[in-house]
Chain A
Amino acid sequence: MSAADTDLGLARVPAASGSGTVPLLQRVVDRAFRTMTISFGVLVIVLLVGIVYQVLIHAWPAMGQWGVEFLTKPTWDPNTNSYGILAEIAGTLYTSFLALIFGGILGLTVALVTSQGFLSPRWELIFKNLIELLAAIPSVVYGLWGIFVLIPTIRPIAQWLHDSLGFLPFFSTPFKGPGILPSALVLSIMILPTVTAVSREALAAVPARLPAAAYGLGATQWEVIWSVMLPTASGGVFGSLVLGLGRALGETMALAMLVGNAQEFGWSLLSPGTTLAALLANHFPEAGELEVNALMYAALLLLAITLLVNALGTYIMFRTTRNLQGLG
C-alpha cells in the first residue's frame, strides 16, 4: 500500500490522527468500489425478482382462469386446454416423502455410525468422504443408473411384492418399470448426503458433558444415543430432514427419467406417476400459449412449495443452534 502511495507521489497521513486527508483518487476508488458491491448485491435480488416475475406474469392468466380448481383436477389435456395438476402434486409429495423415510433413516444411521465412536477416526473420515461423493454425482447419471441398474434389479422383487402382497394398496398394481418406487429409491440416495451432513453437525453440537455424564452413569453406547444424543440433537436432525425434503421436492432430471410420466396417481409403489418438475421438463418445450400459462402456474406452486420447505428447514436449524448454545 505504501508503495502505491509513494508511486502516485501523494502524501500519506497516518490514520491514527483521525483527521488526515485521504487523496482524492483513493476516495473515488473507495466510493466506487463500495457502490459496485452494493449494486451487485442488489443485482442478486433483481435476479430472484426477475425469475419470480417471469413465472408470475405467465401464471397470472391461468390463475385467473382456473383458480383453485387447477390444484384438484387430475387431467392434463392440451387438446381441450383442460389442465390440472392433482396427479403432479400428489406424485411430487409421495415420492419426496418416501425418499425422506428411506433417506432419512439411512442418513441418520450413517451420521450416527460416523460420529459416535463406532469406527476409528480414519474410517470415519473415509465413510464421510464416500457419502460426500454421493452428492457429487450429477442427477442425470443417477437417472441413467436407475434405468439400467436399479429398475432391472428391483424388477423381480417388485413382481414378488405384487404377486404375494398385492392386496395391500402399496403393491396393488403390476410393476412396469419406471414409477414411484425406483424414483423414491434414487431420490433417497440423493438426499442422503444432506441428511447425513446436517445431522452430523447437529450431533457434534451436543455439548460433550451430556454424553459423558450418561456414560459415567453406566449407559451403553446405544442408550446414550437414544436417551441423550438424539433428543438433544433432535432439532438439528429434524432440520436435516426438512432440508432433505426440500432437496427432493425440487429434483428434476432423475425423476423425469424414472417416474414414468403417466398422468395418474396411485398409492401403489409399483405404479408410474408424474411430478411437477417432470411435467415442466416434458411439456414446456412444446407448449402453446395457454399451456405455457398452465405450466407457469404449476411452476409457481413448485417454487412456493420448495421455498416454504427450505425456509422452514433453515429456520429450524437457526433456532436449534441458538438453543444449544445455552447448554454449553
Chain B
Amino acid sequence: MSASPNPAAAGAELEFSLKNRRTWVNLALTILAIGLAIFAALPLASVLVMLLTRGVPVLSLALFTELPPGAGTVGGGIGNAIVGTIVVVLVASAFALPLGFMAAVYLAEYGGSSPLATAVRFSGKILTGMPSILAGVFAYASVVTLMGSFSAWAGGIATGILMVPVVMLTAEEALRMVPNKMRHAALGMGSTRAQMVLQVVIPTALPAIMTGVMLALARAMGETAPLLFTALFSNYWFEGLGEPIASLAVLIYNFSGSPFENQVELAWAASLVLVVLVLLANITAQFVFRRQKVQ
C-alpha cells in the first residue's frame, strides 16, 4: 500500500487521505498501470488456453505415429514433423555450435578488443537482427542450388545461421564471467594458453554456455521462414538428410491456411507440441544449467 512519506515538518502526522489530489492520482495511476500490465498478459493467457483447449483433445498415440493427412481425408498425425524438427535442429547445431562456440572462445580469450575481434562481434550483432527469411534465401542460393534438391541439410544450415549469433554472444559472455584469478592460477602452474582455456575456463563456463545453447535450440525449433524453400516439407518419415523433410513449424504454417478441420486441429496439436518442446528447452536452460554455479 502506498503511503506518502511524511513531510519534513517535525511533528506532522503520516496521513493517507484520498481527499489529497496527489494521493488519489497516484492510486488511479497504479490501478491503470496494473490493469494495463494484466492486459498485456492476456494474449499469453489466450494463446496458452487455445493451445490447451484445441491441442490437448487431439493428443493421442495416433498423433505421434501417423503421417499428415492429405486434403479431405480424415485423421492423420504429425509424427514425421516432430522427428523432422529434431533432425533439422541437430543439423543446425552441428553447424552452428562449433562455429559460434569457437568464435566465442576467440573473442573472450584471444581477441580482446583487437580490430578483428571487434569485427567478429559486430558481425554477430548484425546476424542477430537479420530477418529469418534472408537465412532461407542464402541457404537456397548456396545449398539447394549446389545440391540440386531441397534437403534437410539446406534447412539445417539456414536454421543454423540464425543460431550462430545467439551461441556466440552468450558463450562469450559466459567465458568472460570466469574469474581471471582462475586463468592466472592455471598459467602460473605452467599451462599453455590452450590448456588453460580447454581445461579450466571452458569447463567452468560450461553451465552458462549450455544455457545459451538451449536458448538457441529453443529459437531454432520454432523458426519457419528458413525452412520454406530449403527443407520444403515431406509427407513421409525421415529417410535421409539429402531429401526434403517435415517440420512442426512448416506443418503449422501449411495447415493454418487449410479449410479442412482435421488439418487445422493438427496445426493446433503441432503448436502445442512445439511450444512444449520450446518451453522444455527454456526451462532446461534456466534451471538445470543455471543451478550449477561456479564452485
Contacts and interface: CB of A to CB of B under 8 A. Distances in A.
A50 interface: yes
A37 interface: yes
A299 interface: yes
Interface stretch (B60-68, B104-112, B236-244): B104-112
A145 B222 contact: no
Contacts of A277: 131, 133, 225
22 contacts: A37-B102, A40-B99, A41-B106, A41-B116, A43-B103, A47-B127, A48-B126, A113-B36, A118-B30, A118-B34, A131-B41, A141-B274, A215-B5, A220-B2, A220-B4, A221-B30, A222-B26, A222-B29, A253-B132, A277-B133, A284-B137, A302-B131
- Name the prevailing secondary structure of the A interface residues: helix
A113 B34 contact: yes
Interface string A125-145: 001001101101111111111
B129 to A, nearest CB: 4
User: How many A residues are at the interface, by size bracket?
Assistant: 35 or more
A306 B268 CA distance: 31
A220 B26 contact: yes
Contact of B225 (A112, A246, A252): A252
A54 interface: yes
A55 B137 contact: yes
B186 A34 contact: no
Given A1-B199, A218-B6, A284-B229, A109 B40 contact: yes
B246 interface: no
Given A38-B116, A141-B252, A303-B130, A33 B198 contact: yes
Interface string B177-198: 0000000001111111111011
- 3 pairs of A and B residues whose beta carbons are closest in the complex: A138-B222, A40-B102, A250-B131
B169 to A, nearest CB: 11
A45 interface: yes
B37 A220 contact: no
A293 to B, nearest CB: 12
Interface stretch (A23-31, A61-69, A198-206): A23-31
Contacts of B249: 138, 140
Interface stretch (A9-17, A71-79, A167-175): A9-17
Contacts of B189: 1-2, 14-15
B278 interface: yes
Given A138-B278, A285-B228, A38 B110 contact: yes
A154 interface: no
Nearest to B6: A218
A13 B141 CA distance: 54
A143 B190 contact: no
A296 B138 CA distance: 11
Interface string A100-138: 000001110110111000100000000100110110111
Contacts of B190: 1, 12-15, 20, 22
Given A143-B256, A220-B26, A29 B194 contact: yes
A43 B44 CA distance: 39
Contacts of A118: 30, 33-34
B161 to A, nearest CB: 7
Given A41-B103, A110-B37, A141-B275, A15 B187 contact: yes
A310 to B, nearest CB: 4
